[in-house]
Every structure is written in C-alpha cells, then in structure tokens.
Structure 1
Amino acid sequence: MAVVTRTRRAAIQREAARIRRDGQRNGYATRRIAAAVRAALPEVTALEAWRLALGWSRAEAIAQVAACYHAEGLGLPGMNESMLCRWEHDPRERPSAEYAVMIARAYGASPEELGLTRRHLLALSAPAALRYGRDDDAMPLTRGEPPMTTAAGLPAVKESLRLALLADPGVAGPAVPEAAAAAAEHYALNYSRHPPHVLFGGVRAARELLTAPLSRASDRQAIELHRTVGRLSALMGNVAYHLADHSGAQVHLTAAAGCGARVGDVRLVAWTCGARSMVARSRGQTAVAVELAERGVAAAQGPLARAQLLGWALLPSLAAQGRAREAEDARRRADEAFAAAEEQPGRFGYDGAEHRLHAAEACIALGRVDQARPLAMASADACTPGTPGWAAATLLLARVEAAAGEPADAAARATAVLESVPAGRLRSTARARLAALDRCLHDVAEHRAVRELRDAVRALPAFIDSRGRASAGER
C-alpha cells in the first residue's frame, strides 16, 4: 500500500472539493464527477472518489449506509470510519458482500463502479442476504487465520457465562467451570482482535462473574475455577500493560501467579513470570526483570514454553543490561527450543513472528542493527497487515532504517503504521517504539517526512484521559 502523507491527503480533499463544485455547476452526474476526481487524483480509489464526489465525510457516508439498513428494518450495522478508511485506502481490504451491496445502494452506484467486487462478488446480481451488520467476513482471510470476532463477541461471551451460572448457581456440575474455561480461551485466542480497553472490560466482567461461585463450588470445581480466574487475571495484567498501566498490570499478574501456584498450574506460573519481567523491564527495573525471567525459564515445561520465556523475557532483559555474551546464549537456547516446538496461537501461545520480533529488539538494544533488519523484516512479513504484531515489527524496522541513516524511509514506514492502525488499537508498546524512533530521528527533523511523522505522533490522543477514560481513538 503506497504511503500518502497527511499533507497530501489534505491537498487531495481540497482538489476533490473543487472538482465536485465545478461538476455540480455544470450539472454533471455523480458518476461523471467521480471519474473526474480519479482522473485528476490517481491516488484516490473508486470508493473514495464516489464519496468525495457526493461531498460526504466518512461519518456522513456511514450514516447513509445505516439509513439503508433501517429502510430494510434492520439494526444499526457495525461499520465504522476506521473500516471505511481501510476499504478506501488499502487494496488488500474489501468489505463483505453484504456491506458492498449496502454501500453501493447508499452511494447510488454498483459494486463494480465502486471497485468493491472480488471473486465471490463477481456473480452478485441481487442484494446479498443481510445479517444485521455483522462484519465477520469484512477482514481478509490470510495465512490460514480465522475471521476476526465482531465487537459484539465479547459481551456475548459474558452473557453465555452468566447463563451457565444461572442454570447451575451452586456450581454442582461441570457446566460452569467448562464455560469459564472456554471464555478464558476465547479471550486468549482473540486478544489482538479488539482495542485493549474494550478487551479489558470484557475480561474483567467475566472474572467478576466468577467471584461469588468460587465460594460455593466443591473442591474439585473450585480448582478449575481458580485456574480460570488465574488465566483471566493474567490476561487483565497483559492488557493493562498494553494500556500503559504498569502498576495495575503488576497487581493483576501477581494475582494470576498466586492462582497458578495454588492449583499447580505450572504453565501459568511460568508465563506470569515472563509477563512480570516484561513489566519490570518497561519500568527500568532490569535486575528484577532478569530475576523474574530466570524464574520463568526454570518453571517452563516443554520446548515452546522454554522458547517463549527465553526469547520474550530473558533475552531482552539481558540485552537491556548490555550483557551481550549472556544475551547471545539466551538467544541460541531460545532458537533451539523454538526449532523443536510447535507454534501455538493466542496470548498464552508463541509463534515465529513474535520470536523474531524479540530477537530483533534485543539486537537493537545491543547495537547490532545489521542483525536486527532481517529479523524485523521476517517478523513483519509473517504478520497480517494492520495487526498489533505487524505494527510492532514495522515500527522496529523503521527504527533500524533510522539507525542506518535512512530517515525518510523510516518516517514513511512509521507513518504507514499510523495510517493503517486506528489510535484506539495502538498499544502502549507501539507508542513506546514510536517514541524511540522519534529520538533516533531527532537530528534530522528538517526532513518533511520526519516532521509529518512527528506531528502525527503528537496528535495521537492520550491513552487515558484526566478522568480515567480510555481513548476510543478510531479513525
């Protein structure tokens, strides 16, 4: 996807508005105005050209699409400005068949004229079956990944858990522990598919539902519930970290470690050591980070858990202390363990993209920029564009380019991340990488791309405002 700077975007908006005014004075149809916009502005896609020809903002376009849903007697769709922005700017992103039909209806065009056709839309001759705004298939399916869950998925999981508790308030049978474990697994597997503050609320609500049943459950059921409460607490700690609430993360992760130790969940104990090491490292407590990482490595069972604790926790902690020889040994051991392991998805899993990301970051910390570049590139290539993992690896690659004397490329790459990922989905770790990149580019601020990046970073809304509310930040 070509990078278009914010300055150029503003110029596009002004020129498109002029073309629309001229076309309206001459009595041109919207179709002809859209064609004129595309002819004058080659960066503009057909979908965006039609919206500009109509003179609508994205919010107004979404309102018109919603009116089409209401005309069919359907509820408000889940479409938002961020989704429309991606569909307009990224050729890899396409709306579902349902959305394509309804957008075309709102714009007074056909899906073909809007450039919304894809293989399963080519045979579309009538409106697709409407599913009340579900956007499960709005995201591209790549690398064998399942479609993202909808925004309604999180509260629906909590509701099903509540129903299980209503059916068995005394927790006499296995239904409640099984539903609770399934809920925790859902949150772990879909961790990266929701903005952090939204996920935090969902996980917290589920954990709160389990508080009272813990006192009523039999010994056997209580063990399973404590295990699940521990996993939910661990997830809350990780999300709090990604919301830059490090003290809160420490509390949740410590609670998770206690639950894991109580029921003998060695995997959870090891993982929480790694997470607490990550938090300590972010707070500049590198000695504590190394100690926690070593405890996690000692507790880890199986090659994947060892690879994760070595690569995610110990390697970056040693690198932060500048202990190059020991860091290299940790990396070698992590690589060996990962080679013998089978990747697993989810927050408690580990994969090649994350493994290479941590190795690249350690190389940068140790001043080995040339070694970091291929690792960061491989990590980014293994991720779906727009995801948190992709953003992390891409920003790391920009940092490598900045250190290698390529400031314009570095700034353009980082700007592409900000254009692709809504602010509300940008984790605190991504913001920290942006801050580190800004420091690297401090002496080359005369470059236009660098100035534009700096302005974009400064324009990001605060993660948490003065009233303790998380920024929605969707564009």
Structure 2
Amino acid sequence: MPSGARVEQLGLATRDEVRGCRLLLTDAISGSSDGSLGTELRRQVGWLSALLGNLAHHLADDTGARTHLTLAVDLGERTGEPTLAAWASGALAMVATARQDWRHALAHAEHGLGHAPDGLRRAQLMGWAQLPALAGLGDAHQVDTVLEEADRILESAGEMPGRFGYDLAEHRLHAAEANLTLRRYDRAARIAEESIAAKAPETPGWAAATLVLALAEAQDQPADAALRALDVLDRIPAARLRATARSRLARLNAKLAGTDATAVRDLAQRLRVLPAPIGEDGRATA
C-alpha cells in the first residue's frame, strides 16, 4: 500500500497527465480538417477539462476549477454533449457553494438542469448542485420539494459508479449537508449516518459524511463530535485529506471553540499542527 506522500504524488501526477492529454488534444483539434474528428476531440477535451476542474476543486484551486469547468460546459454545449454540459455546470455550482456564493451556485445548477437528461443525471444535478444552493438561501420548503423528487428518481434509476457518476451515499451526503445548513441537526445526523453506512471506511466519501455527522452533533454533543473528527484524522493521512475535508474540519473547530472538553482541546491541537496541503510543485501551500 503506498504511503500518504506517495498517494499524493500519484494524485499530482494524474493531474499533470490530464493536463498534458488536454493540451495534446487541443493541438490536434486546431490542426484537424475533419469536421467529425474535430467534434469528437472537442468532446474528449471537454470531459478531460471537467475531470481536471474537479481535481482542482479538491486541491483548493478555485481559479483553476472555474477555468476548466467553464471550458467543459462550453465544449459540452458546442459538441452536443448535454451530459457533459450538465455535469460541468453542477461542478461549477459545487465550486460556488464552497464560497457560499449561493446565487451563482443556484444559477449554475439551473443551467445544468436545462441540459440534464431525465433519470439519474437529473437527480444528480438536483442533489449535488441545486439542493446546497437552495439550503444556503434558506429556502427549506424548496429543499424538501427538490429532495423528494430526487429521491424518487434515484429509487427508480439506480446508481452509477465512477467519478462522473452518482450513488446513494453521495446523494445522502448532499441531503445531510442541506439539512445541516438549515440547522435541522437531528435530521442531518440521521441522513449522514445513512451515507456513512453506504461507503467503505477511510474513503473520501466516508470522511465527508463522518465530518458532516460531527458538525450535526456539535450542537448538543460537542465532545462526541470532536472524537469523531479525531477518528478521521487518525485514519486518513494529512496528505490524503481533500480541501473539502479540511474545510469541514475548520468549520467544526470553530463551532466547538470555547467548549471545555479534552477531545475538543485535542482536536484544536491536532488541527494547529496539521501539515498544509501539497500544491502542484510538491510543496506545502501554507
């Protein structure tokens, strides 16, 4: 099993390789005189750009994420690939949500829904992109309406594995976060537990759902919430912590500030000495 540092190096190598493939295909497009070949290459560049934008987001490169995802949306629209345009729009909503820019997030989500095919792709855009934005805007009624429809679609459409897919665990994660944003802590905790149960331990999805559960518990069970976060830090090396996990840890630490409990103090200390994420050049970013 590779070490945490080796895993991070592999992730950086993958990102560089995707960028290299994208540049290679871009050169091929510019030199292609075959219209159908050019369209297919543009479609592939679009999917590579979508993947790179997603990677950039998880490495806390907000500018890079927006740049690559915007290109992916454009290429999806120009090549007649609605699934690409929808997915990349959803990812742009995710990036805006991370900034708490709810109105732009909702606009991206609605743009994506305008392209999304019926079935699982529509449920994905509703759960992944529309739901967090509506929760951020405080529209609890619309959150419940969207979640009810997305649940129905997911029950009949099944799941799709992979980076561009969608499954029950991810859907439950977004539902839990929406309820957390609306301060429905008991409901958020229950749904987060469902997401945890559907994920393999020590995966990024498991860490995300576990930290959402900790955030939901922090209101009434601060020590338990801190212990849950410490468990994540014990199981996942710092080099493998996504930017989204770090953000949830920071939110939890702020929420627990002032609580007099050993676990809370231990968590604060662990986060103070947590190594900074590694950038593209292999160096710490802070």
Q: Normalization by structure 1: what TM-score? A: 0.57
| Cα offset, 1:214, TM superposition | 1.6
Rounded Cα–Cα distance in structure 1 between residues aligned with 2:206 and 2:160: 18
- 1:63-117 deviation line (CA, Å, top 9, x unaligned): xxxxxxxxxxxxxxxx54449xxxxxxxxxxxxxxxxxxxxxxxxxxxxxxxxxx
Query: Which of residues 262, 269, 276 is equivalent to 1:448?
Result: 262
Letter of the structure 2 residue corresponding to residue 460 of structure 1: L
1:401 aligned onto 2:217: yes
| Counterpart for residue 374 of structure 1 | 190
Letter of the structure 1 residue corresponding to residue 141 of structure 2: R
1:234 aligned onto 2:46: no
Rounded Cα–Cα distance in structure 1 between residues aligned with 2:11 and 2:26: 23
Rounded Cα–Cα distance in structure 1 between residues aligned with 2:44 and 2:143: 34
CA contact (8 A) 2:278 2:284 kept: no
Q: Normalization by structure 2: what TM-score? A: 0.93
Q: Which runs of 4+ in 1 moved over 6 A?
A: none
Matches within 5 A, 1:414-429: 414-429=229-244
Higher RCO (CA-CA < 8 Å; seq separation 6+): 2
| Counterpart for residue 410 of structure 1 | 225
Structure number with greater Rg is 1
| Counterpart for residue 457 of structure 1 | 271
| Cα offset, 1:255, TM superposition | 0.8
Letter of the structure 2 residue corresponding to residue 284 of structure 1: Q
More helix by share: 2
Question: What CA RMSD, in Å, does the superposition of the two structures yield over aligned residues?
Answer: 2.1
Q: Secondary structure at the match of 2:258?
A: helix
Query: Which of residues 23, 27, 32 is equivalent to 1:208?
Result: 23
| Counterpart for residue 181 of structure 2 | 365
| Cα offset, 1:266, TM superposition | 0.3
Rounded Cα–Cα distance in structure 1 between residues aligned with 2:172 and 2:158: 15
Rounded Cα–Cα distance in structure 2 between residues aligned with 1:437 and 1:342: 33
CA contact (8 A) 1:196 1:425 kept: no
Q: Secondary structure at the match of 1:292?
A: helix
Letter of the structure 1 residue corresponding to residue 207 of structure 2: A
CA contact (8 A) 1:195 1:424 kept: no
| Counterpart for residue 129 of structure 2 | 313
Q: Point out where structure 1 has 5 or more consecutive residues left out of the alignment.
A: 1-78, 84-149, 152-192
Q: Secondary structure at the match of 1:291?
A: helix
| Counterpart for residue 246 of structure 1 | 62
Q: Point out where structure 2 has 5 or more consecutive residues left out of the alignment.
A: none
Decide whether aligned partners of structure 1 residues 339 and 436 sit closer, same or farther in structure 2, where only a CA change above 3 A counts: same
Matches within 5 A, 1:213-228: 213-217=28-32, 218-228=34-44
| Cα offset, 1:395, TM superposition | 0.7
| Cα offset, 1:412, TM superposition | 1.3
Rounded Cα–Cα distance in structure 2 between residues aligned with 1:379 and 1:401: 15
| Cα offset, 1:312, TM superposition | 0.5
CA contact (8 A) 2:168 2:195 kept: yes
| Cα offset, 1:464, TM superposition | 4.9
Q: How many residues align?
A: 284
Decide whether aligned partners of structure 1 residues 322 and 196 sit closer, same or farther in structure 2, where only a CA change above 3 A counts: farther
Letter of the structure 1 residue corresponding to residue 52 of structure 2: M
Decide whether aligned partners of structure 1 residues 231 and 347 sit closer, same or farther in structure 2, where only a CA change above 3 A counts: same
